[in-house]
A and B are shown apart, each in its own frame.
Chain A
Amino acid sequence: AQTVTQSQPEMSVQEAETVTLSCTYDTSENNYYLFWYKQPPSRQMILVIRQEAYKQQNATENRFSVNFQKAAKSFSLKISDSQLGDTAMYFCAFRPIQGAQKLVFGQGTRLTINP
């Protein structure tokens, strides 16, 4: 069974700073997808970024980028030029390509951007 671990329950940075959220996972699969979801106080789950395990190039979406280290099973999220609207819970998630393709989540990191 796959597991996802986020070791930072809470983080806090100043506006405009860069912050990195950590995520590690455990799987015996070779091909899979990794995701970061954002959950603001509205409770809505918002997909931030997606990485395909068979692609070596790290995914980027505007101010959001990932550092994907397949051998180390590590998938960190970097937020550049952080904004107040980035304040939210962030969840790392794993989805295998084969079988039922269930999405498995980490415990989450609560990120606060201070003015």
Chain B
Amino acid sequence: NAGVTQTPKFQVLKTGQSMTLQCAQDMNHEYMSWYRQDPGMGLRLIHYSVGAGITDQGEVPNGYNVSRSTTEDFPLRLLSAAPSQTSVYFCASSTGSGYGYTFGSGTRLTVV
């Protein structure tokens, strides 16, 4: 049981480049979310999904795009990377039963 798998673990981008952070879970969880973690600010919600085909914006969605074509996968796309998007990104998934979310191991992204 792999849980939540995020790739890559580290990435360096140049300003203006685009990329996709991959997230996959094998627990048949309907709820999935993307967070970014910055010092002193905790984890802030970027986008979330309550099931395949359903996504919505979180607290800090600008510059990011998501889709959820299957229950398992929830990729996060950076459209045109900016230095302000330098952060650690976490993908998480959960059932709807009130249990905590299970997190991936995170991606450290640096935009230069």
Contacts and interface: CB of A to CB of B under 8 A. Distances in A.
Interface of A: 4, 6, 9, 33, 35, 37, 43-45, 47, 50, 52, 91, 93, 95, 97, 100-108
Please tell me the size bucket of the interface on B. 20 to 34
Contact of A107 (B41, B98, B101, B103): B41
Contact of B98 (A33, A91, A93, A104): A33
B98 A103 contact: no
Contacts of B92: 45, 103
A91 B42 CA distance: 7
B59 to A, nearest CB: 9
Nearest to B54: A100
B100 A107 contact: no
A105 B42 contact: yes
B88 to A, nearest CB: 7
B75 interface: no
A95 B96 CA distance: 10
Contacts of A106: 42
Contact of B43 (A9, A44, A91, A101): A91
A107 B42 contact: yes
Contacts of A44: 103, 105-106
Contacts of A104: 45
Contacts of B108: 43
Contacts of B31: 100-101
Nearest to B98: A33
Contact of B40 (A9, A33, A103): A9
B101 A103 contact: yes
9 nearest A-B pairs in the assembled complex, by CB-CB distance: A45-B103, A105-B42, A47-B100, A105-B43, A107-B42, A33-B98, A35-B100, A43-B106, A108-B42
